[in-house]
Amino acid sequence: MSTPVRTRFAPSPTGFFHIGSARTALFSWLYARHTGGTFVLRIEDTDKARNTDEFLQVIYDSLKWLGMDWDEGPEVGGDYGPYLQSERNDIYNRYRDRLLANGRAYEKDGAIWLRLEGERYTETEYSYNNGEFWTTTKKADSAVEPLTRTIEKVRAEPMRLNDQVRGYVERAEDRDFILFRANGEPVFHFVNVVDDIEMKITHVIRGEDHLSNTSKHVEIFKALGAPIPHYAHIPLILKTDGPGKMSKRDRGALIEEYRSRHYLPAAVRNYLCLLGWTPKDGKEMLPIADIIAQFELTDIHSANARFDEKKMAHMNQLHLRSLNPESFASLAAPVLGEAGIVDEATPEDDIQRVLALVQPKCVSLESLPGFTKYFFSEDYAFDEAARANVSKKADPKARCAALIPHLETVADFADTASVDAAFAAAGAAAGCKATDFFAPLRFAVSGLGSGPDMHPLLAALGRDKVLARLRRFSA
């Protein structure tokens, strides 16, 4: 039987939680769930000056919001805790002592160094006034007297790593490197590897920016006599336009932003899956169970992914529309409440009816207050872009004025046959198509250019409101 998979997400709480971190966490989580393994959350908070409790809380909240539950880690515990590196110093010191005892580490200038294995030789480097070091005699003709230093190098076998995403990657460390600084603090590489050993991590899934650290990490695993985990370095996320990597400052980069904008977490998570991975049949909107079933590390793309805000918004819209009406209403009603569109006095039935009506047309929960205000209030805004659009064909006031007498003949606006007859009569009288009244009418009664279909809209607003608004608008 093969070893059960253990993956981990190892964030440093030095800033708000951005989509790159969320996607790294997601791929680790997906792989653990796919294999029936364990997903560990470990907090890499050794940089005391830059870590804050606020950022720590944001990590926990964002992971929970995105539905990525961890099996071991802060709050839930586990056999290999504590799960905050700031509480693991005894463990790091124990590993340091092991290396000092077996000769794979030594002390120099107060710091502790890892001794690489291999054939040692020395080289002389020359530094000129610009501070750059040149090996051997490259700048010997310079008029400036060089500073020199002698360095010890190791001709070691280059490390050949079979990365699950990148394929074979070769890289060699050629000189000893520091494990503990002179102030006694362990460096990132050391604590990262010690914890992966202690926490029995089998698969290290992390951002490509760590690929260049991996040769150091492998050397530490080897020095400690520990098995080397599988690695999967996942591609960078590029910003929407331009060549650069998405940074925390880029629009759309922070997970909290989606939360406060009432995005559906399932939609955000679904979109994040697509940043570097493609479902087998190309169907992008998928329930998480299907993604878990399909997700293989070797299917992760090695090319960089590009963040696309519009695609994220579209994914959110698809998820919103696919909710059953009850779920949609339970998410949407509080958004209307918060925006002051409805309150305790608003009849619950009215809210439910309006939400059922708008769900198929709803673009986002964030836009829902503006999209539904006219159902609950006479004080709705008129959208200027919609006004310009609706005015292109004919004067909307004149169109509405021409429609009023015909609609007045209809007793019940839920009676679609009578409503259609009124539109037809109005069209015949004005010499236009019946449907030419739709856009001006919609604009008059809602102030908008889009919304529910015309019949259910008229039925929901009712005769009195529609006629009163038409009269007011066309006056």
Binding stretches for ligand GLU (CB under 6 A): 10-12, 44, 192, 204, 206, 210
In this structure, the dihedral spanned by the alpha carbons of residues 44, 47, 49 and 53, taken in order and rounded to 10 degrees, is 10
Question: Under 8 Å CB-to-CB from 392, ≥6 apart: which residues?
Answer: none
Angle at 303 between CA 300 and CA 307, to 5 degrees: 90
Provide DSSP, 423-469. HHHHHHHHTS-GGGGHHHHHHHHHSSS--S-HHHHHHHH-HHHHHHH
Question: Under 8 Å CB-to-CB from 131, ≥6 apart: which residues?
Answer: none
Both tokens of 161, joined, read 């790593």
Q: Which of 64, 108, 139, 248 is catalytic?
A: 248
Nearer to ligand GLU among residue 192 and residue 446 (C-beta) = 192
CA distance 256 to 238: 19
Q: Is 64 a catalytic residue?
A: no
Nearer to ligand GLU among residue 17 and residue 443 (C-beta) = 17
Question: Coil, strand or helix: which one is 134?
Answer: strand
Nearer to ligand GLU among residue 11 and residue 37 (C-beta) = 11
CA distance 226 to 398: 82
Q: Peptide bond preceding 82: is omega within 30 degrees of 0, i.e. cis?
A: yes
Nearer to ligand GLU among residue 203 and residue 373 (C-beta) = 203
Question: Coil, strand or helix: which one is 43?
Answer: strand
Angle at 295 between CA 221 and CA 34, to 5 degrees: 70
Nearer to ligand GLU among residue 50 and residue 472 (C-beta) = 50
CA distance 288 to 266: 8
Nearer to ligand GLU among residue 89 and residue 346 (C-beta) = 89
Is 343:337 a contact under the CB 8 Å cutoff?
yes
CB of 224 to ligand GLU, least distance (A): 16
CB of 162 to ligand GLU, least distance (A): 17
CA distance 473 to 390: 14
Rg (the chain; Cα; Å): 32
DSSP label at residue 400: H
CB of 206 to ligand GLU, least distance (A): 4
Closest among 96, 89, 152, 95 to 124, alpha carbons compared: 152
Both tokens of 12, joined, read 């440093």
CA distance 277 to 295: 8
Nearer to ligand GLU among residue 224 and residue 403 (C-beta) = 224
User: Phi-psi region for residue 136, left (φ > 0), alpha (ψ -120 to 50) or beta?
Assistant: left
CB of 379 to ligand GLU, least distance (A): 49
CB of 99 to ligand GLU, least distance (A): 20
Nearer to ligand GLU among residue 10 and residue 273 (C-beta) = 10
Nearer to ligand GLU among residue 44 and residue 436 (C-beta) = 44
DSSP label at residue 75: T
CA distance 404 to 423: 10
Question: Under 8 Å CB-to-CB from 265, ≥6 apart: which residues?
Answer: 65, 66, 67, 258, 259
CB of 236 to ligand GLU, least distance (A): 13
Question: Coil, strand or helix: which one is 388?
Answer: helix
Query: Where in the sequence numbering do the catalytic residues fall?
Result: 248
